[in-house]
Structure 1
Amino acid sequence: MDQPTVGILHPGSMGAAVAACAAANAAAVLWCGTGRSTASATCTVQFGLTPVAELDELLDRSDIVISLCPPTAAEDLARDVGAHHFAGVYVEANAINPVRAQRIAALLAPAATVVDGGVVGSPPVGGKRPTLYLSGPSVATARVEALFAGTAVQTAVLGTEVGKASALKLSYASFQKASRVLVALAVGMAREHGVDQELIEVALRRTDSYLSEPQYVAKTAARAWRWGPELEEAADALVSAGLPPEMLRTAAFTLARWNDAKDDTELTLTDALDRLAQQ
């Protein structure tokens, strides 16, 4: 099969680096500089992407288009592409929720074939090897896999249903990003009382990620009746330190869904998640 021409919308640090990897198996990788920032232009020069003057030209020349932009812009960008009746493979690789991914697929159908994508990991530079998770029609996902074969971007297909890749990306991001914010709050509270170094020493004794211990969710549920009030106390301490308490108050509110599981040592992970999902 001939090498495809690829268009990247709108390349920042992640998009430009991913597009550069695609260049290894593409005839050309195009980007449109209209309305883009100086920083975006610098990224594309660094990675050797080919500039075109207008979005029309990029879409007319591209067999595969990859969308990597801020989540808020994803649908507007897809509408612009849809207005030009793009008929190739559209890789929706933004950090958006599954419903939005499905909406974009419907928006671009039937002309374009949409592949849902989610990048987990850092930009593929300096030895970093992120994974691009894919879901969607098998012929289209195979073309995207071939595009990144032998490059620093690893690919993994999750199935044919648009939304699966987005779900995995956001499931991981919800932990990874929120946990970083929790670190800031915890260290901020400790610093207010002069015990921030001691807090770090306590944390260094345990390096495992809680996300790798899903079985502990059931124990969390059984202890929620006392963990919730503890987090409310911590939220009050954040207020005293001039820090925002809303994240901990929301966590306490979430724990309250498990109040009827008090000290239930027989609770399973499935039971705990089922209770958490009850409205």
Structure 2
Amino acid sequence: MAQPTVGILHPGSMGAAVAACAATNGGSVLWCEAGRGPATVARAERFGLTGVATLRELLDRSDVVISLCPPAAAEDLALEVAEHGFAGVYLEANAISPEKAFRTAGLFGPATTVVDGAVIGSPPVRGKTPTLYLSGPAAATAELEQLFAGTAVRTKALGDEVGQASALKLAYTAYQKASRVLVALATGLAREHGVDEELLDVASRRASSYLAEPEYIAKTAARAWRWGPELEEAADTLAAAGLPAEMLHAAATTLARWNEAKDSELTVADALDQLAQP
């Protein structure tokens, strides 16, 4: 497909930046302005996205639609797109379970090709280069690889089964995000007993330990509102594989104590104080 038009659903910090990279090899990148707040409008303008008035207009004009939204909204959003009769490539790039990705693919008719996607890494700005993992029909994954060729978004095809990319994302999420929750708990416990500096000293002797990065606790608190749902999805995936899921459910419950800190700039001490309050 030459110069495909791309539609991005609900352009957050990751979605807007990824969509902007798609414009390198595509045509215009559209987003739907209906119901979105001023922060989203400003973000879309910053990344050079083209606003349209309705979802129907976005879907009618787009060859490729990218869905990057909070996990809890992924299925409802896909159903809304399917009901519009979208004909093209639908990239389901949310942090959802493989079962949910497969179920989402089943919502669409034959005119739509669903590709399972997973973005691992930070948004592609200021030199960051995340990887977009893809699984699904080979022709569609190849089309998406071409769309992002030469951009800050690297791509890698995993296979032809919807659910593989989601499984990789949640396997990584299970470690990457849960480990940061453990850092906060360990540091909070040590601080309660006056040995937090000693804990940091112990951790600093070990290579690549998140315990040596206590400043990340405040970042974790600010992102807890979206990390919690991701860990619940990962827990469901563990359970489906016959593995214990309690730790990830518990980590999501822990993150819920920081829901009021959404996108805030807390100090480490403030984050730990919030964590200690029921």
Q: Which runs of 4+ in 1 moved over 2 A?
A: 246-251
Match of 2:132 in 1: 132
Displacement after TM superposition at 1:109 (Å):
2.9
Structure 1 residue identity aligned to 2:201 = E
SS of residue in 2 equivalent to 1:115: strand
Match of 2:254 in 1: none
Displacement after TM superposition at 1:144 (Å):
0.5
- TM-score for the superposition, normalised by structure 2: 0.75
Match of 1:18 in 2: 18
Match of 1:62 in 2: 62
Mapped to 2, the partners of 1:68 and 1:248 lie a distance apart of 22
Same amino acid, percent of matched pairs: 70
SS of residue in 1 equivalent to 2:107: helix
Q: Where does 1:99-138 land on structure 2 (aligned, <5 Å)? A: 99-138=99-138
Aligned in 2, Cα 1:248/1:93: closer, same or farther, shift over 3 Å? closer
**8 A Cα contact 1:12 1:39, kept in partner:** no
Match of 2:186 in 1: 186
Mapped to 1, the partners of 2:204 and 2:159 lie a distance apart of 39
Mapped to 1, the partners of 2:102 and 2:122 lie a distance apart of 25
Structure 1 residue identity aligned to 2:120 = V
Query: Which whole-Å deviations, capped at 9, do the CAs of 1:190-235 have from their partners, x for residues lacking one?
Result: 001111111011111112469xxxxxxxxxxxxxxxxxxxxxxxxx
Displacement after TM superposition at 1:111 (Å):
2.3
- TM-score for the superposition, normalised by structure 1: 0.75
Gaps of 5+ in 1: 211-245, 252-279
More divergent stretch after superposition (158-167 vs 106-115): 106-115
More divergent stretch after superposition (105-114 vs 128-137): 105-114
Mapped to 1, the partners of 2:113 and 2:61 lie a distance apart of 16
Aligned in 2, Cα 1:44/1:72: closer, same or farther, shift over 3 Å? same
Match of 1:206 in 2: 206
**8 A Cα contact 1:93 1:116, kept in partner:** yes
Aligned in 2, Cα 1:31/1:249: closer, same or farther, shift over 3 Å? closer
* CA radius of gyration, larger in: 1
Displacement after TM superposition at 1:21 (Å):
0.5
Structure 1 residue identity aligned to 2:141 = T
Gaps of 5+ in 2: 211-245, 252-278
Aligned in 2, Cα 1:93/1:249: closer, same or farther, shift over 3 Å? closer
Root-mean-square deviation (CA), in Å? 1.8
Displacement after TM superposition at 1:117 (Å):
0.2
Query: Which whole-Å deviations, capped at 9, do the CAs of 1:14-33 have from their partners, x for residues lacking one?
Result: 00000010010111000001
Mapped to 1, the partners of 2:84 and 2:92 lie a distance apart of 16
Aligned in 2, Cα 1:209/1:139: closer, same or farther, shift over 3 Å? farther
**8 A Cα contact 2:178 2:248, kept in partner:** no
Displacement after TM superposition at 1:110 (Å):
1.8
Instruction: Report how many residues are paired.
Output: 216
Structure 2 residue identity aligned to 1:174 = A
Mapped to 2, the partners of 1:113 and 1:249 lie a distance apart of 33
Match of 1:163 in 2: 163
Mapped to 1, the partners of 2:199 and 2:167 lie a distance apart of 33
Aligned in 2, Cα 1:149/1:190: closer, same or farther, shift over 3 Å? same
Match of 2:27 in 1: 27
Displacement after TM superposition at 1:39 (Å):
1.7
Aligned in 2, Cα 1:248/1:189: closer, same or farther, shift over 3 Å? farther
**8 A Cα contact 1:5 1:61, kept in partner:** yes
Mapped to 2, the partners of 1:183 and 1:112 lie a distance apart of 43
Displacement after TM superposition at 1:37 (Å):
2.2
